[in-house]
Each structure stands twice: as C-alpha cells, then as structure tokens.
Amino acid sequence: MIFDGPSENEDFGFEQTNKDSALRYMFRTAPLRNLKAAPAFFHNGAFDTLEAAIAHHLDIEASLRSYDPSANGVPPDLAVGPFDGVLAAGMDPLLQEPIELDEEEFRDLVDFVRNALFDGRVRLFCLLIPESVPSGMPLQTFEGCE
C-alpha cells in the first residue's frame, strides 16, 4: 500500500478519504469500553498493552520521540512512519503538557479503564474468534476473552 507524504510512509488519516488538509492526522478513536478485550491499541495497533497506550497519552511528545516498535509488539516487517508531521500539526491543548501521575494513580487509572469499563458480555463475541486466519497465522487470546 502506498501511504501519504513525500516518502509515501505517512498515514494522513481522514485527509486521505475526505481530501481536506484540515483533517490530516485525525483518526476515529475507539471508545474506552471493553478495552480489556482489545488485542492492541490505536488505529494502527502501535501499542500492545493498555499500560503503554495510557502512558503515551500522559506525555505524547516524549512517547513519540522515544517510540520503539519492537517493544510494543509491532511485527518487524512493519515500518513506523515519521512523527515530525504529527507533532507539527499540533496536539489538543489538554494534552500538550505532560501529565504526572504517581505509580498508584497510574495503576488506578489502568485498573479503571481495564475493569470498570468492561462488560463481561463481550466474552460472547470471543467465541466467534477463529483459531487462525486463512494464512494459517494463529490469533492471540485477548485478556478479556480468557
């Protein structure tokens, strides 16, 4: 697939489908409900744990600048595009300054998102997950589906 940008390695988000440059780097985000059963986080699966996804939101710029795809479960055959355009486009003012939480506050936040927003009925959908896909690759079991 050919992506956006001069090196064809950027995902311009809704700009790509709506042809409106004001929508660059804007993506539909998933609701916070039932993230316990999510196998990965963000529109592109950039984070493989809820902890990493939440930590990213606490200091977005530092997280982007130090992002390590292999530490976040991104397969080695996938490349991560440049982040400078994302940072230059600007962030929501509420997220521009890092948010500091102590370890207990961080654990409480993760616990709330993981458990308080989880509806056990989602496990019924877990029964529909096949053991593998047509390529033969096995699918992982998700925390909420165990």
Angle between helices 50-58 and 103-111 (to 10 degrees): 120
Is residue 58 within a helix (H) or strand (E), and if so which, with residue range?
A: helix 50-58
Domain-wise residue ranges, the chain: 14-120
For residues 41 and 96, give the distance between their C-alpha atoms in angstroms, rounded to a whole number: 21
Per-residue CA distances from 77 to 59, 74, 140 (Å): 27, 8, 18
Give SS3 for 69: helix
The lowest-confidence range among 15-29, 51-65, 111-125 is 15-29
Instruction: Flag whether pLDDT at 144 surpasses 70.
Output: no
State mean pLDDT over 6-33: 79
Q: Which pTM value belongs to this model?
A: 0.70
- Express each pLDDT in 73-94 by its tens digit: 887 777 666 677 777 777 778 8
Q: Are 85 and 25 in contact (CB under 8 A)?
A: yes
Q: Degrees (nearest 5) of the Cα angle 113, 119, 125?
A: 115
Query: How far apart, in Å, do the first and last CA atoms of the chain sit?
Result: 34
For residues 108 and 80, give the distance between their C-alpha atoms in angstroms, rounded to a whole number: 31
CA-atom Rg of the chain in angstroms: 17
Instruction: Flag whether pLDDT at 25 surpasses 80.
Output: no
